[in-house]
Amino acid sequence: MQILVTGCGGFLGSEIVRQLLRRGDHVVGVSRQSYADLEALGMTHRRGDLCNASFTQNALVDVDAVIHTAAVAGVWGPWQRYYRINTLATEHVIDACRQNKIPSLVYTSSPSVTFDGSDQCGIDEAVPYPPKWMCHYPHTKALAEQAVLKAHEPGRFSTCALRPHLIWGADDPHLLARVVDRARSGKLRIVGDGQNLIDTVHVSDAAASHLYALDALGKSPETAGGQAYFVTQDEPVNCWDWIGQICETAGVAKPTKRIGFSTAYRMGALLETAYRWMGRKEEPPMTRFVAAQLARHHYFDISAAKQRLGYTPKQTMAERLAELRDRWSSKHA
């Protein structure tokens, strides 16, 4: 197949590209920057900005399906930036798929589209969107997800949305890098009682879920399409035990100092207000969303992804952590 991947140079997007190439698909990558390493593997590159409707129409041609991972993450920044990149660009991708008669679209969403700051214990996709979101990222991703699912037309244009949770891996420049940096600087605090359970997903499995979804849309669009799917390692862990293991693997002290959830939440609200008032562009050291993510349970029932997409994680959490230790120790040998 000829598969187009947006955000091809990102942590998740690049792994999707590599897995598609390994199984013999032809891959077209779309991004704003060049990635010579992926081109050397055989990826064709179309460089440009998906916020530009004309570019998107011209770039999304001569392919059998699109995997749309491009997005801006984070918990701080102006609404317009998040809306343009996460929502408007996704609408451009949907329009281009329709215009160019591309039959399938797999969209990378996020479990945060359902998060309202309260515990999420084994929830499935029946949980509704919250009446309001705690920051612009989940809000704009939810708007994009809704547009993707609404666009599903059995027999003409099949779509689905995946919600991979806390993607990580040895080369992770986001989650693990942030955790280790904050622990190394002594700024990482256990928020809440330290007993909250969370789901995560290794980048290899997160990427594989997109291939499963792509194949399922092709084989049984009436069953797989028009749905959102939580994607995890299917193995909830204690958040702070897991973070402690990551820190120990990186050779830094795991966090021991604590802050109550209510205190952290109030501090986040005050800092958000102060940073907005001062017009500061950098992310505050604490926000309400981050406080809630670090203190609340958030783990999910992935039965739908298993049953409708055929998704299963390839390795256990213990095996993935062992793999991380091997990779990091070889880097610093």
Residue 6 burial (C-beta neighbours within 10 Å; 0-12, 13-18, 19+)? buried
* Cα–Cα distance for residue pair 312/6, rounded to 1 Å: 24
Q: What is the DSSP annotation of 282-324?
A: SPPS--HHHHHHHHS-EEE--HHIIIII----SS-HHHHHHHH
Q: Which amino acid is at 132?
A: K
* Cα–Cα distance for residue pair 109/106, rounded to 1 Å: 9
Phi, psi at 157, each rounded to 5°: -150, 110
Our answer to whether residue 299 is catalytic in this structure is no
Q: Which amino acid is at 48?
A: G
What secondary structure letter does DSSP report for 153?
A: B
- Contact (Cβ atoms closer than 8 angstroms) between residue 212 and residue 311: yes
Of 82, 137, 299, 311, which is the active-site residue? 137
Which residues does the annotation mark as catalytic?
137
